[in-house]
Amino acid sequence: MSLENKQILLGVTGGIAAYKTAELTRLLTRAGASVRVVMTRGAQAFVTPLTFQALSGEPVRTELLDPKHEAAMGHIELARWADLILVAPATASFIERLATGRADDLLSTLCLASASPIMLAPAMNQQMWQQQATQDNVQILLKRDIKIIGPAEGDQACGDVGPGRMLEPQKILQLAEQHFHTGALAGKRIMITAGPTREPIDPVRFLSNRSSGKMGYALAQAAVEAGATVTLITGPVNLTTPRSVKRINVETAEAMRAAVFETIDRSDIFIATAAVSDYRPVTAAEQKIKKSAEHLTLELLPNPDILAEVAALEKPPFTVGFAAETESLEKHAQAKLQRKKLNMIAANPVNDNQGFDQDENQLAVFWSDGEQRFPLTTKYKLARQLISLIAEQYHST
């Protein structure tokens, strides 16, 4: 497992276990996560912000109303940035602040301002943990789907023995990884097309488009994390293959079609993110075309619509198409859903600074009797949201 492309907001509150969070920061970053640390005032009595700055490679935030930091990344932005908010150690006092919805320091404000999942690793004296007041607060948090991991039992820094020790960093890492590895598509085979195609004009020139492949690659990674076996059929892009993904490189639409049909009958789900060239030159010149005539006419032929062909199979997989549109997003997407007989379509606006070759995007997803909108965020986060929606719809059909 890994935490590649995951953004973790690591909250540190004031307990002696905070020294172990230094090791946790190392483990999280080594597993590939981007970590941003927020410390409460209490935490700084045990460990300095500089420790976490050195380990996370990012400035540490400690104050809610800090003009310098707010100018770089405001607290609302930081709350949205997080894929996961992990608080370790979480003291009894912090648990109480969260349960009562306070926003009187940066960390509690971030928790309140974020729609991201929250995971707490409590650490405190065993009597404080077992106290009814703490247990009542824990129950409130559990009801709100906040994950409480630990505490473990054993020797405590104060000399007591009992429940209240923070889980070991290695164990917290493992639980953070498990959080992203949902298993929602365990045992399923998913085929994804990604990137542009290249349609040769002559040995040195081709017709292509601006697709970067980023969305398809992010989906491949999210599908692996959901437990699927993933085949990625990709046009030429400048991206590394996500771990555990079988990658097949192609150039033309026809080569992409051939690669798709080789194993489509063994796929449970087909996601077409590739920006397949709609047309190709009738013939590719054998030699480089010389600059001679004033006008040069290229004759083009339509390419096969791979997605429509897959959806038209006798026993089609669950098919998901993409629709990049510059106008009338919903109307065009709905029309494509019907015309190509898809199970689902994910539409995204493309314009000068959105869509192709960007790291962020937004999606409007439609299926026969529903729709869901995912606001602008990283393609990695969007991919996880879309994969979880696909899993939900796949299992309900």
Q: Is 383 in the site for ligand C5P (CB under 6 A)?
A: no
CB of 309 vs ligand C5P, minimal distance in Å: 8
φ, ψ (nearest 5 deg) of residue 102: -80, 155
DSSP state, 66?
-
Q: How far is 279 from 269, CA to CA, in rounded Å? A: 26
Which one of residues 60, 95, 219, 274 is an interface residue with ligand C5P (CB under 6 A)?
A: 274
Q: How far is 379 from 363, CA to CA, in rounded Å? A: 10
CB of 275 vs ligand C5P, minimal distance in Å: 7
Q: Is 272 in the site for ligand C5P (CB under 6 A)?
A: yes
Q: What SS3 state is found at 97?
A: helix
x/- contact string, 178-197, with ligand C5P (CB under 6 A)?
---------------x----
CB of 267 vs ligand C5P, minimal distance in Å: 14
Q: Is 212 in the site for ligand C5P (CB under 6 A)?
A: no
Which one of residues 150, 305, 347, 389 is an interface residue with ligand C5P (CB under 6 A)?
A: 305
Stretch (H or E) spanning 259:
helix 253-263
* Vertex 346 angle, CA 344 and 350, to 5°: 155
Q: Which stretch binds ligand C5P (CB under 6 A): 144-152, 267-275, 279-287, 364-372?
A: 267-275
Q: Is 253 in the site for ligand C5P (CB under 6 A)?
A: yes
Of the candidates 246, 250, 258, 243, the residue with the CA atom closest to the CA atom of residue 191 = 246
Nearest to ligand C5P of 171, 332 (CB atom): 332
User: Catalytic annotation on 158?
Assistant: yes
Q: How far is 280 from 215, CA to CA, in rounded Å? A: 24
Nearest to ligand C5P of 169, 321 (CB atom): 321
Q: Is 35 in the site for ligand C5P (CB under 6 A)?
A: no
Q: Which stretch binds ligand C5P (CB under 6 A): 1-9, 54-62, 241-249, 298-306?
A: 298-306
Which one of residues 321, 337, 350, 365 is an interface residue with ligand C5P (CB under 6 A)?
A: 321
Q: How far is 232 from 270, CA to CA, in rounded Å? A: 10
CB of 332 vs ligand C5P, minimal distance in Å: 8
User: For residues 303 and 279, is the Cβ–Cβ distance under 8 A?
Assistant: yes
Which one of residues 21, 234, 303, 348 is an interface residue with ligand C5P (CB under 6 A)?
A: 303
* DSSP assignment string, 126-181: HHHHHSHHHHHHHHHHHHTT-EE--PEEEE-TTS-EEEEEPPPHHHHHHHHHHHH-
Of 142, 157, 158, 312, which is the active-site residue?
A: 158
Other CB atoms within a 10 A radius of the CB of residue 85 amount to 22
CB of 321 vs ligand C5P, minimal distance in Å: 4
Instruction: Take residue 227 and report the two structure tokens written for it.
Output: 């437990």
Which one of residues 60, 276, 333, 389 is an interface residue with ligand C5P (CB under 6 A)?
A: 276
Q: Which stretch binds ligand C5P (CB under 6 A): 102-110, 150-158, 318-326, 357-365?
A: 318-326
User: For residues 56 and 36, is the Cβ–Cβ distance under 8 A?
Assistant: yes
- Counting residues that bind ligand C5P (by CB under 6 A) gives 16
Which one of residues 3, 31, 306, 365 is an interface residue with ligand C5P (CB under 6 A)?
A: 306
Q: Which stretch binds ligand C5P (CB under 6 A): 56-64, 233-241, 244-252, 272-280?
A: 272-280
Nearest to ligand C5P of 121, 310 (CB atom): 310
CB of 325 vs ligand C5P, minimal distance in Å: 8
User: Is the preceding peptide bond at 89 cis, omega within 30 degrees of 0?
Assistant: yes
Nearest to ligand C5P of 336, 381 (CB atom): 336
Of the candidates 317, 228, 315, 230, the residue with the CA atom closest to the CA atom of residue 270 = 317
Q: How far is 17 from 138, CA to CA, in rounded Å? A: 19
Q: How far is 244 from 260, CA to CA, in rounded Å? A: 19
What is the contact surface with ligand C5P in residues (CB under 6 A)? 193, 253, 272-274, 276, 278, 303-307, 321-323, 336
Q: Could you give the residue numbers annotated as active site?
A: 158
